[in-house]
Structure formats: structure tokens, C-alpha cells
Chains A and B, each alone.
Chain A
Amino acid sequence: MIAAPRLSTILLAAITVLVAALLYSPLFVPIASSFFPVARGEVDWSSPTVETYVALAGNHEILAALRTTLVVGVCTVVLSVVSGTLLALYYHGRRAGRSLLQFIVFLPFLMPPIISGLALLIFFREIGLERSLLTVVIGHTVFVLAIVYRTVLTRLQSMSRTLVEASYDLGATKWQTFWRVILPNLSSATVGGAILAFALSFDETMITILVTGTQTTLPVRLWAMMRLGFSPDINALVALILMFTILLCALAARFLVPRQIATQRS
């Protein structure tokens, strides 16, 4: 049943369009300007070009930063998925100490990153750990752990115990049950959690700025470049990162969107 649109509906729709435009404007501006040359901080809209992309391919600093980001991202994903899954399995169906440790896991996610970052900075200094990629990975891992933990725990809670009992009844050992029953059932949640963890790590800037050594990740590199001013290859890079992120989001959604919503849509 579709009622004729009323004034209030039109007004609401207009506000929604405005909000969407506001939200997307910072995404489209760099993409659009990446195809035009920049001179003295102004975009020349008259002559479209791909030279910004060519310049980007020759920018070794940016490519090195991209490599660092990927290395950090992969290490973070491995650490946070293993540890987050362990925590979720450990905490699932158990009460004692659960809320306390859960609180600790969520702290870096709730606290402003500047506080988590500074706390880690002081900690690393006090234990004599030099700032390096290792400290960046640790920083990212504690930051994204909450997301992986939450994702896996949600899946575990919707998993039926009868599956495990059936496995035991059929004579499987503890490890067989874990590898053949529990883990496969968790797989899409862990993959989804891993993608989210990677996306968060890929974007994390504040903690990285504080705990990194000489090697910088892409956001930190961008941050340093942007403070100096506009440069055409930044726009190209921004456009590429946006497309990459959209791809990641689509992938994460594919693994994480609840079934009800998925079926509702089809």
C-alpha cells in the first residue's frame, strides 16, 4: 500500500538527501579532482588527465608506506583473530570474571585513541621496547580486538550446543570437535571479523602516530603530506583507497549481514 506522499514525507526525504550529500561530499571531491591537474592549490577543471595516477606509481615513499600498512594489517589480523576467537570461546557460556575482562578488551575501543596511544607510548618506554612496527602491531591489535571478539562471540551465542553434543556422541575427540564442528561454524564470523579488523587497522592513525618508529603507515604518511598542503598524487591515492575500502566493506557485509536481512532483501 503506497500512500500519496505528504508534505512531511517530502521534507523528511529532502533532509535525508541533504545528509547523504553531506556524508558523501568528502568522498567524491577527491575522486573527482584526482582526474584533473592541480596548480598552486587550485584544481584546473578544464583539462582531465590521468597524470596524477602516473605520478603516484612513481612515488616510492607512498608505495613503501602502503607496504608497511599491509604488513601491519596482516599481522594485526592474525593476532587479533587468534586472540579474539580464543577470548570469545573462553568467555562463552561462563560468568566468572567475564564482564571484567570484557571491559578490559573494550577499553581501547571506547577510550579516545589518543589516550590508548599515549598509554602504550609510556608503557613501551618504561619496559624499554623501541618504537617500531612491532609496537604499531601491538597498538592496532588491542584496538581491533574488541571487534573480532564481539563478532565471534555473537556467532557462538547463536550456535546450538546440540551440534557439539552430537559430535561427542558420534565419538569425536575434543580436538576433532573443535576443528570439525566449532571452527567451521565460526568461519564466516572470523572472516568477517578479520576483514573489519584489517579495515580498521588500515585506517588507524592516532595510535600509529604515537607509537610508530621510523616506518610510517599510509594514513600517517598521508597525514604528514596533507599538513604541508595539496598535492595531485594525494588525490589519486585517496581515490584508490576509497575504492579499495568500498570493496572491503562489501566483502565484510557479505560475511556479516545477518541472514534475516539478507533474505528480506532478496
Chain B
Amino acid sequence: MKSAGLARPVAIRWSPLVTALAFALPVVFVLVPLAIFLVYSFFSVDQGQIVYAPTLANYLRFFTDPVFLPVFWRTIVLCLSVAVISILLAYPTAYFLTTLRGRWRYALLMLLMVPLLMSYVIKIYAIRSILGLNGFLNKALVGLGILAEPSTLFVFNMNAILLTLTLLLIPFAILPIFLALERIPQVLLRASDDLGASSLQTFLRITLPLSLPGVASAASFVFVLAIGDFLTPQMVGGISGFTFGRILYSQFGTAYNWPFGAALSVALAVVVIVAILLGERFGRNRGTSL
């Protein structure tokens, strides 16, 4: 929001002490730790002791060892799938919201956002109990006669991670798509209607293209959150649901190789940054302002 004219910004003069205080917290506890973290990725470990000498060994190992890259790619594909499924469910939902008028529109939007604020750990736990062998999903599928007996398809594997992450992240897809749809000027839709386009044509030629920036933001949000999540794979992944986050974490726990773990985190951070930048690049709303 730009303030102009009468609503010029409130100006306050600051003493150097206050300035220093304002800078202290983020610089000391955000910038410095991340910088140290980056430096750590160039160290190595010898007999459980960290060797403070620069080396590229960690990065070489990441690219040459047959274990890490496949899991890395598999995790990226998994999170892309989460983003795609979330959008396929979120788009019609967001579209439906924008067809509502007045109070219903925002009340329903709020209702769909509330699950975001619920405890993350608890939701994962509940979803696991729904997907499990004795869970509701299996009970329902057996009850409907779709499955003969409870299946292990939905728990302790990649499917479980995919389903759980999607359930957790759908609200993050709904919001940007809703905002993009809401920003489309109604006059464009009416003009299209006046010119004789069918509602499907109007949707495909006007609404859909103009809402794509919102879809890009949504995809970027969901992907970044999915790839950074470690608790879901740990809880519902089991042995076959091995993701990059779990490998990364294991370097800090059982393997006790902090520098290598830091290097793996840098790889993760690079993916996250690329996804955020792509989201920014394609997520900007163009052509919707009249």
C-alpha cells in the first residue's frame, strides 16, 4: 500500500541505540546462524570431530554418491505432485467462493482457512489414524465394497506422505487463487458475455488466463512448504517413505555428520529459493488492473 497526499508516512527520528536494538535480533539470530551454517557445509568430520578446514567434499559426495541424488529428485517429484493435486482441488473451490456474494464469500473463505491454524502435529497424527490399516478410509472402502480387506496402500509409504501433505496444504493453494480470481474485473466477464461468448469460453479465454498468476503463487507456496516439511514423512512415511528431509535430519542425529547435513540443507535451500523466485516471477498479477 502506497501512502500519498494527506496520508504521508509517520516519521520518527531515532537514536543510534534504538537503531542498534532494532537490528540486533534479526542480525544476531538469523543472519549470523545462517552464515555459520553455510560455512559449516564446507567443513568435514573426522572421527566424530568437526575439522574446521574448507573442503568441497560434502558437495562432491552429494552429487556422486548413488544414495542422495535419487532421493532428492524423488522428493522434488513428490512435492510437485502435492502442488498439482492441491491446485486441482483448490481451483474449483476458490472459483466457487468467488461466485458467492457478500458475507458468504468471506465466511466460507475463513472456514477453509481455519484448519491452517490448527496444530500441525495433531493434524498429521489424525490423518495417520484416518489412513491407517484400521483407519476410516479403509473402513469406508471396505464398507463400500471397493476393497475386500483393509489395504496398506495409504500408510507408511510415499502415498501416505502425498495424501497427508495435500490435506495439510490445500488452504495455502486456495488463498492465492481466490485472491487472483477476485481481482479479475467484472467488466471483462460482462463484456465477454455481451460479445456472445459462452460461459465456458469466457472461463477459458478470460478467467483462467488471468488467474494463472495466482495458480503460480499457490504452486510455489505449496511446493516450498511440502519440500521443507520433515514431520509428515517422519510420521506417515515408514521405511519406504524416505524423503530428502529425513536423510538430511539423519546427518544431525544418527550419522552425526553436521557439515554434510549442512551441505544437504544448502541443496534444499537452493530448491526452495528457486521455487520462491519462480512463484514471484509468474505470480505477479499482470493485465488485471483496468
Contact = CB atoms under 8 A, between A and B. Distances in A.
Contacts of A13: 96
Contacts of B111: 20
Given A114-B249, A261-B106, A245 B112 contact: no
**Secondary structure call for the B interface:** helix
A161 B115 contact: no
A78 interface: no
Given A23-B115, A111-B228, A199-B117, A101 B122 contact: no
A113 B226 CA distance: 11
Nearest to B94: A16
Interface stretch (B4-12, B55-63, B206-214): B4-12
Nearest to B134: A42
Interface string A241-266: 11001101100010000000100110
Contacts of B134: 41-42
A101 B21 CA distance: 13
B103 A238 contact: no
Given A93-B9, A119-B36, A159-B10, A29 B167 contact: no
Interface in A188-247: 199, 202-203, 205-206, 210, 219, 222-223, 226-227, 230, 234, 238, 241-242, 245-246
By CB atoms of chain B within 10 A, which of A86, A114, A154, A158 has the most? A114
B18 A23 contact: no
A248 B119 CA distance: 12
A227 B23 CA distance: 40
A122 B114 CA distance: 35
A112 B231 contact: no
Contacts of B174: 19
Contacts of A9: 96, 99
A226 B31 contact: no
B18 A86 contact: yes
**Secondary structure call for the A interface:** helix
Contacts of B1: 154, 157-158
Interface in B250-268: 252, 258, 261-262, 265, 268
20 contacts: A16-B96, A22-B167, A23-B170, A93-B8, A105-B26, A107-B30, A115-B228, A120-B29, A120-B33, A122-B36, A122-B258, A123-B32, A142-B26, A142-B30, A160-B8, A174-B13, A203-B120, A223-B121, A242-B122, A245-B118
